[in-house]
Amino acid sequence: MSFSYKLPLGLVLGLGALAGCKKDIDKYHPSPVTGGFATIVLPNTPVLATKYAPGETIPLTLGYNTGDNPTNFTVFQATKTDSAQVGSYPISGTLDGSTGASVQTVPYTVPATYPVGTAVRVDIRVIFADGGVRLRRITYTVGNAPTLANGTTTLTYRNGLGASQQLEGDVIGYAVALNTGGVSTGTGTNLYKAVDSLVYSARAGSNGALQRQGVIKTPTNGAALNRTIDVRIPSGSAAAGGAQFVFTAYAQNTTTTLTSALLPVAGTSTALATTRRGTVSFGAGSSPDSLAFNLVEGLNEPAANAVTAKDLQVSGLSSSGALTLSAPNASRFYKLTSTQLAATPYATATANAVGALSYQNTASADLGAPAVGDVYAGRLRSTGAPVLLRIIGVRGSTGGSVGRVRFEYRGL
């Protein structure tokens, strides 16, 4: 006797599907039958990032139509090694007038136990009264929260003066290090979040009100970054005992802050106390040792010497025979405009003012063909010490005659 069994076609197909089933780590939660409208991409809500830190709350907002009768939603998370439902919540949103949809915050926090570099998938399942389900999904990678520290050579005094000679209004270059050792992509423990903005502020003393001075947008996508930021000493700092600078890095819902030590601020400016004169010359009867001048020593620099001590040097002749000057070493000069000369700066300027003037304007190694009355703000060599130079005499070189440029200068 023989027996035969006939199974329903649907069951046969179902058993075949089970026989061929293989676990896929990216499909812990299969897509359900679709239901009514639901979205997590809404106007006026934060753009989701690709990296979040352990313990950080991700700003998720669910949008839906009340008329579709959603009843509740669940939040499910999965990695390559585990998966779990992390919450179930009743629908209880409010109408958003700008979109016409009802909105509700989705509670979700990155697990503190997830190692940096972990790839995570989050599924939000919205269940409707008629049994329909709508799934919305995000993915992210766990990254370190930003770090912020003092950089190498933390302080650079832009006016070329020392720490104790800085005044209110003077500019300081402050070096910071973001995400030291960090990278922007990958799955290693040195993966860092992108920084949305870096805000820098100042205050008089250690308890004064913070005065925002500027912001750098998206300074890094997570990779290590060293940057020097120009900050300005705020008014009232001398009486308050100094100045402090505060830097804050913002990365989605996380922030990190660096506060400087209290920096000294002088109550009076530094004078350009020394006045000297000099001459450079060129021509058939002129000594080669008169071509260059050492502004630090106040002497002509011999032609055979290295250029490192030659702050001014005759570099050529113009078509009219006027001598042109340049700085073959690291010294740099800025020629004051006629408007700036109207304030008679040569007689009144301080070292702080001259240092600021030469830093905040484009200084050059080329002084051109100077004329009597021209004034140059300079920074000397690698120290950047301020100097103010005025041309007091010019004689061109024609037909091989000796041409000269005479000048006087004020320095420290």
Give me the pLDDT at residue 20, please. Answer: 40
From residue 79, give the alpha-carbon distance in Å to each of 20, 26, 29, 245: 23, 8, 12, 42
Q: Which residues of the chain have pLDDT under 70?
A: 1-34
* Contact between residue 220 and residue 178 where contact means Cβ atoms under 8 Å apart: yes
How far apart are alpha carbons 299 and 289 in whole angstroms? 10
Give me the pLDDT at residue 277, please. Answer: 98
Domains in the chain and their CATH numbers? 31-142 (2.60.40.2550), 148-259 (2.60.40), 274-411 (no CATH)
Write down the residue that tokens 């209004």 correspond to: 169
Give me the pLDDT at residue 24, please. Answer: 43
Total-model pTM: 0.84
Burial class of residue 323 (count of CB atoms within 10 Å of its CB; 0-12, 13-18, 19+): buried
Q: Phi and psi dihedrals of 290, rounded to 5? A: -100, 5
Give me the pLDDT at residue 32, please. Answer: 52
Which ranges constitute the DSSP H helices of 104-221? none
| 354-412 pLDDT tens trace | 999 999 999 999 999 999 999 999 999 988 999 999 999 999 998 889 999 999 999 99
Tokens of 16: 């075949």
Give me the pLDDT at residue 235, please. Answer: 98
Q: Collapsing DSSP states into helix, strand and coil, what is residue 352?
A: helix
Q: How many CB atoms lie within 10 A of CB 67?
A: 9
Count how many Cα atoms sit within 13 Å of the Cα of residue 291 in the half-sphere of its side chain: 19
Give me the pLDDT at residue 34, please. Answer: 63
The β-bridge partners of 175 are 228
Which ranges constitute the DSSP H helices of 131-210? none
| 84-124 pLDDT tens trace | 999 999 999 999 998 899 999 999 999 999 999 999 999 99
* Contact between residue 389 and residue 378 where contact means Cβ atoms under 8 Å apart: yes
Question: Which H or E run includes 351?
Answer: helix 351-360
